[in-house]
Amino acid sequence: MAHISFDASKLDKFVHDNELGEMQALVNAADAELRNGTGAGSDFRDWLNLPEDYDKDEFARIQAAAKKIQSTSKVLVVIGIGGSYLGAKMAVDFLHDTFYNYLPDDQRDFPQILFAGNSLSPSYVHDLIHLIGDRDFSVNVISKSGTTTEPSIAFRIFKQRLIDKYGEAEAKSRIYATTDQKRGALKSEADAEGYESFVIPDGVGGRYSVLTAVGLLPIAASGIDIDQLMTGARDAMNAYTDTDLTKNEAYQYAAYRNILYRKGFTTELLENYEPNMQYFAEWWKQLMGESEGKNEKGIYPSSANFSTDLHSLGQYIQEGLRNLMETVVFIDKPNHDIDIPKEDGNLDGLQYLEGRTMHFANTKAFQGVTLAHTDGNVPNMSVHIPDQTPYTLGYLIYFFEVAVAISGYLNGINPFNQPGVEAYKTNMFALLGKPGFEELGEKLNKRL
Ligand SMILES: O=P(O)(O)OC[C@H]1O[C@H](O)[C@H](O)[C@@H](O)[C@@H]1O
């Protein structure tokens, strides 16, 4: 029995009984492409066995570095973008007190984890510097390519601040670089300057890298048990190997979303009922969007946070264009539950909820929404997770990783590349005046 469960029982209105079975042969083929390495992008499948097959020495170094960061710093600035930031951000949010980063230092056992280099906003960097103030900090700069513009700029700025505050030598000891084993400007700089470095394995793409040093160092620095995270992922790895669609729920999810996609449900909303899961959806969106959106096709990954967004997006979901499907990740047992208080009289009309808890109300909202949206012709699926522990998160991460790989092969694309991301970068370099892009720069400037 899997630790998390996938529920497609509300799909009967949209998917006939025999349709899942009809996908079995295609799923078998997708599984063979993935497991045997005969599919496109096969060099980037090392995440598949990563929960077992990881560098144990480096893992120990990550734990030691996390301890050092905890003892020397009140803040860890994590610099990265895309896959080099979303995994750590979603995990830190998911596994901590909702207001972890807001707590005063004396109410937090571990450093504040703050992120930079995920936009080009000068105001954001200014405000982050203000927030850090004169507190001790360290920097974890993360980039697989080692050349991405946003983190490179942010790193220059925070490196300068480290040098100004601590001097060159100590600044170097407060910089942790996570990058490629051999290539890239960050790798060259880390070698030249002697930063403590961690490796993103060649065969693990950015969006699949949360269980490498990319995610693990910031997560461990925030005091999370990363052994448990890996154990959860390992158990999921072993749980989702059967190609039989009646047994493998990750494959089932992949199959159902493709059945629905072929019927015109081209946008999938990942939804939660827990505000600290907002970034889980952001991580999921990169995983799904970069994996599947190519060759002019693919499910568009979107998200909504409930019940909040029921009061903004809810109208559209209920009655707008019928191209939506929904997948809810629901936590069966929240970290905390709160009683709805008793009150004399019934002025607010809430007496009927006395003796109930907020989780009861949240669960009923989830159930009510599922039925209403199903009636409104939005197919609903859900993934139930028992709790918000590192073990469960590791499990959930692997569930979606293996599902999107199968889903991508079902849809006939390479789920491991992202060629489309280069188009804007080329234009940006040309407009910024980067050497080598002069001719394009001239052409583009005329069009502005
Ligand atoms: O880790 P980096 O090489 O800096 O890349 C960071 C991100 O940016 C790129 O543009 C890719 O589209 C992403 O897949 C990647 O995660």
Residue 40 pLDDT greater than 80, yes or no? yes
Q: Say yes or no: 308 and 370 in one domain.
A: yes
- 68 and 126 in a single domain? The answer is yes
Same domain, 160 and 240: no
For atom 4 of ligand 1, the residue with the nearest CA is 143
- CA 421 to centroid of ligand 1, rounded, Å: 9
Kindly state the tokens that stand for 225.
Answer: 């048990």
Contacts of 6 (CB under 8 A, 6+ apart): 249, 250, 252, 253, 381, 382, 383, 384, 399
Mean pLDDT computed over 392-420? 97
- The verdict on residue 24 lying in a domain is yes
Number of domains in the chain: 2
Q: Say how far apart CA 102 and CA 125 lie, in whole Å.
A: 18
Residues in contact with ligand 1 by the CB-under-6-Å rule are 81-84, 143-145, 148, 151, 206-207, 290, 418, 421
Structure confidence at residue 364 (pLDDT): 98
With respect to residue 416, please indicate whether it lies within any of the assigned structural domains. no
Cα(207) to ligand 1 centroid in Å equals 8
Indicate whether 161 and 119 sit together in one domain. yes
Q: Which atom of ligand 1 is nearest to the CA of 148?
A: 4
pLDDT value for 189: 97
Query: Who's near 180: CB < 8 A, 6+ residues apart?
Result: 144, 145, 146, 186, 187, 199, 200, 202
Determine the distance from the C-alpha atom of residue 174 to the mean position of all C-alpha atoms in its chain, rounded to a whole number.
26
Mean pLDDT of 85-105: 97
Residues 248, 198, single domain; the answer is: no
Q: Assess whether 234 and 367 both reside in one domain.
A: yes
Report the percentage of the chain scoring pLDDT > 70. Answer: 100
Q: For residue 128, give both structure tokens.
A: 């982050």
**Average pLDDT value over all residues in the chain:** 97
- Tokens, residue 40: 């496109």
Domain end point (choices 163, 195, 224): 224
Q: What angle do CA 191, 125, 146 make, to 5 degrees?
A: 25
- Are residues 305 and 376 located together in one domain of the fold? yes
Pocket test for ligand 1, best of 78, 79, 81 (most atoms within 8 A of CB): 81
Q: Which of 86, 141, 148, 287 to mutate to test the pocket of ligand 1 (most atoms within 8 A of CB)?
A: 148
The rounded radius of gyration (Å) of the Cα atoms in the chain is 23
Torsion angle, alpha carbons of 418, 321, 305, 379, to 10: -90
| Ligand 1 atom at minimal distance to the Cα of residue 425 | 10
Number of C-beta neighbours around residue 113 at 10 A:
24
**Nearest of 416, 35, 37, 409 to residue 258 by alpha carbon:** 409
Residues in the chain: 448
What is the mean predicted confidence (pLDDT) over 411-425? 94
Q: Which of 303, 446, 382, 306 lies closest to 10 in space, CA to CA?
A: 382
Regarding whether 266 and 129 lie in a shared domain, the answer is no
Q: Which of 224, 253, 279 is the last residue of a domain?
A: 224
- On whether residue 250 sits in a domain, the answer given is yes
Q: 237 and 125 in one domain?
A: no
Which atom of ligand 1 is nearest to 150's Cα? 4
Averaged pLDDT, 213-230: 98
Same domain, 298 and 335: yes
Reported ipTM: 0.98
Among 276-280, 306-310, 413-417, 422-426, which stretch is predicted with the lowest mean pLDDT? 422-426
In this prediction, residue 2 carries a pLDDT of 85
Q: Give tens-digit pLDDT for 130-145.
A: 999 999 999 999 999 9
Report yes or no on 431 lying in a domain: no
**pLDDT score of 1 more than 80:** no
Q: Are residues 382 and 235 in the same domain?
A: yes
Q: What is the 3-state secondary structure (H, E, C) of the chain?
A: CCCCEEECHHHCCCCCHHHHHHHHHHHHHHHHHHHHCCCCCHHHCCCCCCCCCCCHHHHHHHHHHHHHHHHHCCEEEEECCHHHCHHHHHHHHHHCCCCHHHCCHHHCCCCEEEEECCCCCHHHHHHHHHHHCCCCEEEEEEECCCCCHHHHHHHHHHHHHHHHHHHHHHHHHCEEEEECCCCCHHHHHHHHHCCEEEECCCCCCHHHCCCCHHHHHHHHHCCCCHHHHHHHHHHHHHHCCCCCCCCCHHHHHHHHHHHHHHCCCCEEEEEECCHHHHHHHHHHHHHHHHHHCECCECCEEEEEECCHHHHCCHHHHHHCCCCEEEEEEEECCCCCCCECCCCCCCCCCCHHHCCCEHHHHHHHHHHHHHHHHHHCCCCEEEEEECCCCHHHHHHHHHHHHHHHHHHHHHCCCCCCCCHHHHHHHHHHHHHHCCCCCHHHHHHHHHHC
Is 85 a member of any domain?
A: yes
Looking at residue 152, its pLDDT comes to 97
User: Of 189, 224, 259, which residue constitutes the final position of a domain?
Assistant: 224
Report pLDDT digits (tens) over 241-277. Answer: 999 999 999 999 999 999 999 999 999 999 999 999 9
Task: Please check whether residue 301 lies inside any domain of the structure.
Answer: yes
- Residues with active-site annotation: 290, 425
Res 404 pLDDT > 90: yes
Q: Give tens-digit pLDDT for 65-79.
A: 999 999 999 999 999
% of the chain surpassing 90 pLDDT: 99
Task: Please report the pLDDT score of residue 192 as a whole number.
Answer: 97
In this structure, are 54 and 35 located in the same domain? no
Residue at 74 is within a domain: yes
Structural domain containing residue 179: 47-224
Overall pTM > 0.90: yes
How many Å apart are CA 160 and CA 340, to the nearest integer? 51
Query: What does the alpha-carbon distance between residue 330 and residue 335 come to, in Å, rounded to a whole number?
Result: 13
* Any domain includes 280: yes
Tokens (6 digits) for 327 = 């997948």
Q: What is the CATH number of the domain that holds 297?
A: 3.40.50.10490
